[in-house]
Structure 1
Amino acid sequence: MLLRIHFTGADLVRTSVAHRPDPLWETVLSLRVLQHRAGSPAAECWGRDVLARQAGNLRTLLPLVRPYGYFPDFLTPPDGALGIEHGIDALTATPARHLRGDLTVLAAGGTLPPWTRDLAAGRPDALRGLARALRGYYATALAPLEQSMRTTVRAEYAAQATVAAESGIEGVLSDLGPGMRWNPPVLEVRYSVNQELHLNGRGLLLVPTLFRARTPVSLLDPELPPVLTYPARRTVSPGAPAAGKLGPLMGRTRTAILQSTAETSRSTSELARLVGMSQASVSHHTTVLRAAGLISSTRHRNTVLHSVTSLGSLLLRG
């Protein structure tokens, strides 16, 4: 099945890549990751911590964001690009007819809890309850990862800006990653349903995300501002020429650690396995890299996750 996004010449001119993370898109996608996180030690650690601390908020949010398929468009208003509070304010101002329409589509895929009837009616108490759940979840589950989100999206934006400068926006559309194919004038996206989206001169906002969905995600309502989220790809490869020059300066071990954190967030134990050293030795090296501003570290219970910073990404890219 495919999402087919139809471009005109005007759409190509108006298509852009987001330069900073959208907290509500990251929130929704993280709720999906929370429900199918097997295979990633970092996601497992993060997920256990969130489940233990967010039971009340998750009772509100998980019925709206199922592991697969549709979730309500109103959860990701365009204002979310300006910050979590701007996004939540816009969400709570959603007209009742849109709330009702989105929840009707969601109900077709499974029974919803009774409280969603008040939400569909646009009742203020229900909207305030959803806003509280989103704020509480974001503060615990995503706020500690804000640096990683910013670093990831900035690195992706910088890479796509380079491609656009050399090959135009069609160059960007031709290499967005697995499951997407630019077949001019249509971008074909492997999707959960067959869907046609005609941009009609509005352009498309491409939103790189830290949290990875099984497929890129768009909105169902064709009248909303067109957006397509996709997993941001790290721009540094182990064989990158700039990285090869860092060995004599930083040492092979610290260079390897920096490269590994550029691929994805890594725990100390993961880094130890990757570089073939003890966790104590890796901790020493990550302390030095963190002091130099090249990586950031976030603690989740008994595990510390390390991510490359913007400065580290720039250094690796030369």
Structure 2
Amino acid sequence: MLRVHFTPEDLTRVRIRPEPLPLWEVLLSLHLLQTRHGDVVFGQWRRRARPALSDILTTLAPPKGYSPDFLTPAVDSADLEVGLEALLSTRRQTLHSELSRLAEQTPLPGWVRPLAAGEPRMLRLLADTIRRYHATALQPYTEVFRAHIREEWTRRTEVVMAHGLEHALRTLHPSVRWRAPVLEVGYPVDQDLYLDGRGLVLVPSFFCWQTSMTFANPSLRPVLVYPVTPDLGWVSARPGAPDQKSLIALLGRTRATVLRTIADKPGLNTTELAREARTSPAGASQHATVLRQAGLVITKHSNGCAVHTLSTKGAALLRPSSPSAG
């Protein structure tokens, strides 16, 4: 179990990220790619992404146990290159210490020694390997990740506004329990994290499967990476100009109702949309956000209200010749 210890000051310094952190998604996707966990949700992606694996990545990010913290530097950016620049700047002492800890868990190949010594050539090779993996295994699905994480961010911030931060922490994930002033998190090892006034960054993650994550080193900026639940069929929800079948993979029954309502009555604001679709204003806002990010809906602001209309793609999806969403 992970126990996160809050002070009163920490409760005023909790922040929820609205976007994925690319290097955390790289690390956690590598963990998933080497297992069969969540095969119903990730199996199709796993078959497509497995050729992107390399010995460097599987050595540094094994599916169980410790992975070095330097693989996920403490940067606050959704830009992969910003994270890689921070990784390239990792101090030699940190590299040596964390790779020595990894060596206690599993035998390491000889190429790890120059990396542990901070040789620039090896650091650049690692960065290039991560870049190639990201381009093959993750980049094609970036908009899908963003839509899921933005939806979680919207839901979580609305919970904070309606019910307070402690309720948002209590309902963060089924593996999480709030026992003030300690957040108890299901975790593979026994660990305590004392925030000591530094606050906490909550990071929703697409590839974090069932178990939340944080840094092994408690002196680093406190983060808690926790799971969001991907939609079934998310692999088909490709960015760009997906076909109708791919777009349907983004929709559930309520979201499809919201889309049809916007098609039947264009120009509804969010409150009106909620009433017509028989959902809450918060739910209508969340679904409209995901539909907009999928390219199905256009949202504009008029007289202080968000007003929704169907996009060309949304209209194509709902043509009579199209299969209906379930």
TM range (shorter): 0.7 to 0.9
5 Å-filtered alignment, 1:51-200, equals 51-52=50-51, 54-55=52-53, 58-79=54-75, 81-200=77-196
1:291 aligns with 2:290: no
TM-superposed deviation, 1:49: 2.1
Contact 1:6–1:199 at 8 Å: present in 2 too? yes
Moved more, 74-83 or 2-11: 74-83
**Unaligned runs of at least 5 residues, structure 1:** 256-261, 263-287, 296-307, 309-318
1:222 aligns with 2:221: no
TM-superposed deviation, 1:69: 1.7
Contact 1:218–1:228 at 8 Å: present in 2 too? yes
Deviations 1:42-88 (A, max 9, x none): 52222222223x25xx2111111111221100011122634100000
Letter in 1 for 2:191: Q
Letter in 2 for 1:28: L
TM-superposed deviation, 1:121: 0.8
**Backbone CA RMSD of aligned residues:** 2.9
TM-superposed deviation, 1:212: 2.7
TM-superposed deviation, 1:211: 0.9
Following the alignment from structure 2 to structure 1, what is the Cα–Cα distance between the partners of residues 188 and 252?
33
SS at the partner of 1:196?
A: strand
- Flag the structure with higher helix content: 1
Contact 2:19–2:78 at 8 Å: present in 1 too? no
Contact 1:23–1:84 at 8 Å: present in 2 too? yes
Letter in 1 for 2:129: A
Fraction of identical pairs, as percent: 39
TM-superposed deviation, 1:104: 1.4
The 1:80–1:36 alpha-carbon spacing in structure 2 relative to 1, beyond 3 Å, is farther
Following the alignment from structure 1 to structure 2, what is the Cα–Cα distance between the partners of residues 163 and 237?
23
Contact 1:164–1:171 at 8 Å: present in 2 too? yes
Corresponding position of 1:40: 39
TM-score, scaled to structure 2: 0.72
Deviations 1:223-264 (A, max 9, x none): 100001011247999686x7656666669xxx9xxxxxx8xx
Corresponding position of 1:232: 228
SS at the partner of 1:78?
A: coil
Corresponding position of 1:300: none
1:50 aligns with 2:72: no
TM-score, scaled to structure 1: 0.74
Corresponding position of 1:23: 22
**Unaligned runs of at least 5 residues, structure 2:** 232-249, 265-276, 278-286, 288-309, 318-324
Contact 2:16–2:201 at 8 Å: present in 1 too? yes
Contact 2:210–2:227 at 8 Å: present in 1 too? no
Aligned length: 257
Following the alignment from structure 1 to structure 2, what is the Cα–Cα distance between the partners of residues 100 and 244?
55
The 1:80–1:28 alpha-carbon spacing in structure 2 relative to 1, beyond 3 Å, is farther
